[in-house]
Amino acid sequence: MPASPAPTTADELRGAGLRVTAARVALLEAVRQGGHLGVEAIASKVRERVGHISLQAVYEALHALTAAGLVRRIEPAGHPARFEGRVGDNHHHIVCRSCGAVADVDCAVGDAPCLTASDDRGFSIDEAEVVYWGTCPDCSTGRSS
Ligand SMILES: [Zn+2]
Ligand SMILES: [Zn+2]
């Protein structure tokens, strides 16, 4: 057995300089388990564990965790924001135009910005926002049958 146990979710919150609350622990674990959940889905998972929490409190906690770098927020155009626990890499997302399903796509280059601008116009560019749009397997199947 290793001498020091793996850090708990509470340790990670503390390490990021955040106050540890049961709701924040439940929220971070829900986001990490959930893939790309919206605020409502996250709120209902948090409520299963800690009882009532207002949607406003969930928004505020998500904002704090996103600012601390523990959670990544994605907001595909025309869709509500989603949150995920996969942070610290430059992965992209593919979004289904039909049902809004979101999947991860590894960055082909690895580091941002992964597209080279033909002309940077004197700007120092640090990110290219890449979203792939298409039709998910479920929706493709539904359409053809
Ligand atoms: Zn779909
Ligand atoms: Zn993702």
Digit-coded pLDDT (tens) for 98-124: 999 999 999 877 777 888 889 999 999
Least confident of 38-42, 90-94, 96-100, 126-130: 126-130
Taken in order 88, 90, 94, 99, is the CA torsion positive or negative? positive
CATH of residue 109: 3.30.1490.190
Are residue 94 and residue 138 in the same domain, yes or no?
Answer: yes
Q: Which residues are annotated as a binding site?
A: 96, 99, 136, 139
What is the model's pLDDT at position 1?
A: 57
Q: Note whether 67 and 83 are within 8 A (CB).
A: no
Tell me the pLDDT of the chain averaged across its residues.
91
Q: Note whether 102 and 56 are within 8 A (CB).
A: no
Give ion ligand 1 contacts, CB < 5 A: 96, 98-99, 101, 136, 139
Domain assignment of residue 30, yes or no: yes
Taken in order 60, 36, 94, 99, is the CA torsion positive or negative? negative
Domain that holds residue 133: 89-144
Domain assignment of residue 59, yes or no: yes
**Cα 105 to ligand 1 centre (Å):** 16
Domain assignment of residue 112, yes or no: yes
Are residue 99 and residue 122 in the same domain, yes or no?
Answer: yes
What is the model's pLDDT at position 7?
A: 86
Are residue 58 and residue 99 in the same domain, yes or no?
Answer: no
Domain assignment of residue 79, yes or no: no
Q: What's the domain count of the chain?
A: 2
Are residue 100 and residue 139 in the same domain, yes or no?
Answer: yes
Domain assignment of residue 29, yes or no: yes
Once rounded to an integer, what is the mean pLDDT over residues 73-101?
93
46-67: pLDDT as tens digits: 999 999 999 999 999 999 999 9
Domain assignment of residue 35, yes or no: yes
User: For the chain, give me the number of helices (H) and strands (E)?
Assistant: 5, 6
Band (pLDDT 50/70/90 cuts) for residue 143 is low
Domain assignment of residue 93, yes or no: yes
What is the model's pLDDT at position 144?
A: 53
What is the model's pLDDT at position 110?
A: 74
Determine which helix (DSSP H) or strand (DSSP E) holds 15, and give its type and residue range: helix 9-15
Are residue 135 and residue 101 in the same domain, yes or no?
Answer: yes
Q: Which residues are annotated as a binding site for Zn(2+)?
A: 96, 99, 136, 139
